[in-house]
Amino acid sequence: MDAVLERLRAIVGDAHVLVSVEDRASYQRDWRGRYQGDALCVVRPGSVEEVSAVVCACAEHGCPIVPQGGNTSHVGGSVPLGTGREVIVSTSRMNRILAVDAPNNTITVQAGCTLAAVQEAAQAVERLFPLSLASEGSCQIGGNLASNAGGVHVLRYGNMRDLVLGIEAVLPDGRIWNGLRGLRKDNTGYDLKHLFVGSEGTLGIITAAVLKLFPQPRSRAVAWVAVPDAQTALDLLGLVASRAAEHLSAFEIIDASAFELILKHIPQAKSPLSSVSPWYALIELADSNATSTLQVLLEDILATALEKAWVTDAVLAASQAQIEALWALRESAADAQKIEGISIKHDISLPVSRIPEFLQAAEQALTEHFGKIRIVAFGHAGDGNLHYNLSRYEAERNAEFIARTPEANRIVYDIVASFGGSISAEHGLGQLKREEICRYKSEVELDIMRSIKRVLDPAGIMNPGKLL
Ligand code: FAD
Ligand code: ZN
């Protein structure tokens, strides 16, 4: 093992090969605190050439590689297994904006740029990079691509797959593939970049990307509303979508339990409404026209909804500060849940129309099986994506419940599958769902995935034990 460490030091410099237990610690533990791995070292290359040389060295010495960006994965995808032999390749030093082409509406960035840095660089040329996640200050573009991140504006702009035009990647044999093309039209064969999107580090290391930019929204209207149940929330979504059309940029829902945890654990969180409700929705309309009358439009839509009793109470943000406060409520849901304690998490998607049936069927089946449990549901209703988390109300009984995760997963995922849904909407498979997925994908689909892996990574050195 000393030989490979020497090689790596020669490539990236002593300072960028982290070997001590203390230096490795934060790279080996996942964000949720669920997975604790053990790596040989962490390597922080500074260029694509260094990544290539690092991959060659690891391949020659038979050391598996774990690509890592901001290490915010929710599925244990970015941390090593417990073997002590893996090399974590962190892209954190590769954080340069390489080019901004405003007329072409593209930005070319290194994989280690944080999502927030890319949003800022876009803003500097009066453009929008629309991917938006609560982890945007720490997650990186390489990780966003490798996990095909979604977030709150998928409804309007699509997920990471829809936002990428070109990719540069280092293959498991060390070759560099430069596919950094800023083209909206390019029908010259298989679209290889899409293989790397959602590949969770199993096919190579993404080192740079060309991303799409959009006109900046110059007016926004945001409302926080109380709705009596999930079906009504979807009726409301239908109403807003038909009246606001392309101006609808987010439609998020939060159930009463999620909201209760936010108010309990997030110090600055305050309910904008005077009453409590079983469900809430956050609606955002946006327009690139500064003189747009979105506020009037949203007010008008809400008046119709109040009349129909689809909305029981509502607040329309009157200032930028209020817009941010309402969004902060929604975005603190994951943090609040984390502070409350460990839960069994499900990141699922369903045809939007089937969300209410799913909620009813899942609650019934879970209660029959486990007795009383706390269900915390929130998410991107406009995309049919729910974060559906389970725990016991009594902290002292929670550990025993968490130990029964496989039973809870089976119940939830079988119902998701029976409604034509997916067991991973946006977080990926990682270590968490790599076995589970075998039950829900056809043998043909799994076989194609394994064949692609074999062709690109015959020795299986890229992120073993993840996804497949
Ligand atoms: P990491 O966690 O470092 O890695 C994720 C996966 O990608 C791993 O499998 C890793 O091996 C691989 N990888 C990383 N970099 C590269 C690379 N350069 N080349 C090849 N493979 C690589 N996700 C959503 O989709 N929507 C959300 O709304 C959302 N909200 C979140 C909120 C919070 C508070 C947190 C902590 C996470 C959230 N996530 C969300 C999950 C996570 O932020 C995203 O998946 C993010 O895209 C991961 O980026 P990262 O740089 O942290 O990647
Ligand atoms: Zn999400």
Transcribe 120-159 into DSSP letters: HHHHHTTEE---B-TTTTT-BHHHHHHTT--BTTHHHH--
Residue 70 in contact with ligand 1 by CB distance below 6 A = yes
Ligand 2 geometric centre to CA of 416 (Å): 17
Write out the CATH class of domain 341-425. Answer: alpha beta
Q: Examine the pLDDT at 1 and tell me if it is beyond 90.
A: no
Q: Is the dihedral of CA 127, 130, 136, 139 positive or negative?
A: negative
**Which atom of ligand 1 lies nearest, measured to the CA of 159?**
25
- The span from the first CA to the last CA of the chain, in angstroms, equals 27
Q: What is the pLDDT of residues 196-228, one digit of tens each?
A: 999 999 999 999 999 999 999 999 999 999 999
Return the exposure string of 310-330: e unless at least 16 CB atoms fall within 10 Å of the residue's CB, then b. bbbbbbbbeeeeebebbbebb
Q: Which numbered ligand comes closest to the C-alpha of 333?
A: 1
Paired with 315 in beta bridges are 224
71 lines ligand 1 (CB under 6 A): yes
Residues of the chain with CATH 3.30.70.2740: 341-425
Q: Which pLDDT score is estimated for 409?
A: 97
In which band, very low, low, confident or very high, does the pLDDT at 282 lie, cut at 50, 70 and 90?
A: very high
CB burial of residue 419 (10 Å; 0-12, 13-18, 19+): middle
pLDDT at 48 over 90: yes
Both tokens assigned to 160: 């990471």
> Mean pLDDT across the chain, nearest whole number?
96
Contact 143 CB / ligand 1 (< 6 Å): yes
Lowest mean pLDDT among 239-243, 287-291, 305-309, 351-355: 287-291
Mean pLDDT within 388-394: 95
Tell which atom from ligand 1 comes closest to the C-alpha of 199.
21
CATH topology of domain 219-334: Alpha-Beta Plaits (3.30.70)
Kindly compute the dihedral angle of the four CA atoms of residues 228, 375, 347, 67, in this order, to the nearest 10 degrees. Answer: 140
User: Which ligand has the minimum distance to the alpha carbon of residue 151?
Assistant: 1
pLDDT recorded at residue 467: 95
Specify the pLDDT at position 288. Answer: 92
Question: Taken in order 151, 155, 157, 160, is the CA torsion positive or negative?
Answer: positive
- Confidence band (pLDDT; 50, 70, 90) for 32? confident
User: pTM (2 decimals)?
Assistant: 0.95
> In the prediction, which pLDDT does 363 show?
98
Look at residues 42, 4, 45, 44 and name the one whose alpha carbon lies nearest to residue 25. 42
Please choose from 65, 147, 254 the residue to mutate so as to test ligand 1's pocket, defined by most ligand atoms within 8 A of CB: 147
| CATH 3.30.465.10 domain locations along the chain | 97-215
Average pLDDT, stretch 423-441? Answer: 95
Q: Nearest-CA neighbor of 204 among 323, 54, 328, 101?
A: 54
Q: Which of 208, 146, 150 is nearest to 462 (CA)?
A: 146
Q: For ligand 1, say whether the CB of 166 is within 6 Å of any of its atoms.
A: no
pLDDT digits 0-9 by tens, 258-272: 999 999 999 999 999
419: Cβ contacts below 8 Å, ≥ 6 apart: 350, 351, 354, 357, 358, 361
Ligand nearest to the CA of 252: 2
What's the CATH code, domain 97-215? 3.30.465.10
Answer yes or no: is the C-beta of 72 below 6 A from any ligand 1 atom: yes
* pLDDT at residue 292 tops 80: no
Q: Which helix (H) or strand (E) holds 242?
A: helix 230-244
- Measured from the alpha carbon of residue 153, the closest ligand is 1
Query: Which amino acid is located at 79 in the chain?
Result: V
The pLDDT value recorded for residue 147 is 98
Q: Where in the chain do CATH 3.30.70.2190 domains reside?
A: 219-334
**pLDDT above 90 for 290:** no
Q: Which residue has its alpha carbon closest to ligand 1 atom 27? A: 151
466 C-beta closer than 6 A to ligand 1: yes
Q: Is 132 in the pocket of ligand 1 (CB under 6 A)?
A: no
CA of 152 to the centre of ligand 2 (A): 7
Whole-number pLDDT of residue 257: 97
Q: Which atom of ligand 1 is nearest to the CA of 30?
A: 2
